[in-house]
Amino acid sequence: MTETLESALSEISTLLEKRLKLTGAVSDCLIRARRHLPPRHRRAAADLAAAEAAFEHPKLAMMLDEAKLLRQARGLRLYLAEVDLADRRKGRLLDIGASVGFALLTVIALLVCVLSWRGFV
């Protein structure tokens, strides 16, 4: 592996550990991080995980496009640098709260409609 790609993978590994709380080998972390990443970065993570495995074999390492891998690593690194796990958690809780609130409003509105049709209100 070249030094630049090696350093990019180590930076991605530290960002995955710091931002998404994923530890272990870089390829395993990239595979587990799939659900946290948008589709473009999922492909980049899959390519980088495959490239890390391919760099162990000299003939396979020669067939890889290092410029493309570095571009993908840079994009993934930029995305991971701006991920805020606490903000995502807060957004998810707000989404759940909004869904529950809408469901309750709908049930109450239907209850009032049924009661008015039956003549109780």
| DSSP letters for 32-82 | HGGGGS-HHHHHHHHHHHHHHHHTTSHHHHHHS-HHHHHHHHHHHHHHHHT
User: What pLDDT, in 10s, does the model give residues 61-83?
Assistant: 889 999 999 999 999 999 999 99
Amino acid at 44: A
- Distance separating alpha carbons of residues 4 and 66, to the nearest angstrom: 10
68 neighbors 44 (Cβ within 8 angstroms): no
**Residue ranges of domains in the chain:** 1-83, 84-121
pTM of structure: 0.75
Confidence of residue 3 (pLDDT cuts 50, 70, 90): low
Phi, psi (degrees; rounded to nearest 5) at 42:
-65, -45
pLDDT at site 74: 94
CB atoms within 10 A of CB 96: 10
